[in-house]
Amino acid sequence: MNTQDLSVAKGTHLAVQNAHARNTGTELKPEWFEDIAINRSATERRATTLTARRTVKKEYQAAWLVKAITCIDLTTLAGDDTAGRVQRLCAKAKRPVRADILEALGLADANITTGAVCVYPTMVGHAVKALRGTNIPVASVATGFPAGLTPLPQRLAEIKYAVGEGAMEIDIVINREQVLTQNWEALYDEIVQMREASGEAHLKAILATGDLNTLRNVYRASMVAMQAGADFIKTSTGKEEVNATLPVSLVMLRALRDFGEYSGQVVGFKPAGGMKTAKDALNWLILMKEELGLPWLQPDLFRLGASSMLGDIERQLEHYVTGRYAASSRHALA
Q: Which residues are catalytic?
A: 171, 234, 270
Task: Tell me the C-alpha distance between 299 and 291, whole Å.
Answer: 16
Pair type for strands 304-305 and 202-206: unpaired
Q: Which of 232, 237, 248, 298 is nearest to 75 (CA)?
A: 237
- SS3 of 232, please? strand
Beta-sheet strands, E only, within the chain: 72-75, 116-119, 138-141, 169-173, 202-206, 232-234, 268-270, 304-305
Q: Return the C-alpha torsion angle 191, 194, 195, 201, nearest 10.
A: -140
Give me the helix-helix angle, 215-227 and 246-263, nearest 10°.
Answer: 40
Contacts of 289 (CB under 8 A, 6+ apart): 296, 297
Going edge to edge, which strands form the sheet with 169-173? Answer: 268-270, 232-234, 202-206, 169-173, 138-141, 116-119, 72-75, 304-305
Task: Tell me the C-alpha distance between 216 and 234, whole Å.
Answer: 16
C-alpha 87 chain-centroid distance: 21
